[in-house]
A = this chain, B = another copy of it.
């Protein structure tokens, strides 16, 4: 056999091309041929690593999910208020990394509306996020209803992400809005 390649590495390279394609031209621009071209490999190679297009898309979805999770996991602060703020900002397409991932995430969010297999993991992520946010809010400001505040804050962040992506809100304005909203919640 030819030199043993890193199977997972190859899959990630192709998944990367899928994500770039989605970010630039949307989910329906993803075809085996376009992906192969974007990744600069043959179509046979793409097929070798993914049995079906659907499997490839689901892999790309898991990829960006994990990347976003990793980005959020890399955030930390001793001060709960700062921690909370940093996490919320990390959800928005402000940094280059987030700006690359957010359009892909947005495409999958819309896809989740009509595709339960995408919606389910997102549902789980939502639950975990709300729980984490509620914990932080409770740490900063005891009393009240931290779960409600957490859920509201997450809805706010999700909507703001989309609005920034659509150009309805500038990155600068989005950051100001996060501070404004946090000010309302944490007092």
Q: Which residues of B are found within 8 Å of A158, using beta-carbon distances?
A: 158-159, 162-163
A167 at the interface (CB under 8 A from B): yes
Q: Which of B151, B169, B176 contacts A173 (CB 8 A)?
A: B151
Q: Do residues A152 and B156 form an inter-chain contact, with CB atoms below 8 A?
A: yes
A177 at the interface (CB under 8 A from B): yes
Q: Which of B27, B28, B159, B166 contacts A154 (CB 8 A)?
A: B159
A176: nearest chain-B partner, CB-CB: B148
Q: Which of B24, B109, B151, B157 contacts A169 (CB 8 A)?
A: B151
A79 at the interface (CB under 8 A from B): no
Task: Tell me the minimal C-beta distance from A131 to chain B in angstroms.
Answer: 13
Q: Considering the complex, which residues of chain A in the window 137-187 have a beta carbon less than 8 Å from any beta carbon of chain B?
A: 145, 148-149, 151-152, 154-163, 165-169, 173, 176-177, 180-181, 184-185
A74 at the interface (CB under 8 A from B): no
A81 at the interface (CB under 8 A from B): no
Q: Which secondary structure dominates where chain A touches chain B?
A: helix
Q: Which residues of B are found within 8 Å of A80, using beta-carbon distances?
A: none
The distance in angstroms between the C-alpha atoms of A119 and B110, with both chains bound, is 15
The distance in angstroms between the C-alpha atoms of A137 and B171, with both chains bound, is 24
Q: Do residues A162 and B26 form an inter-chain contact, with CB atoms below 8 A?
A: no
Q: Which of B123, B151, B177 contacts A155 (CB 8 A)?
A: B177
Q: Do residues B167 and A119 form an inter-chain contact, with CB atoms below 8 A?
A: yes
Q: Do residues A177 and B151 form an inter-chain contact, with CB atoms below 8 A?
A: yes
Q: Do residues A166 and B114 form an inter-chain contact, with CB atoms below 8 A?
A: no
- Interchain residue pairs A-B with the least CB separation, the first 7: A159-B159, A110-B110, A158-B159, A155-B159, A28-B28, A126-B168, A155-B160
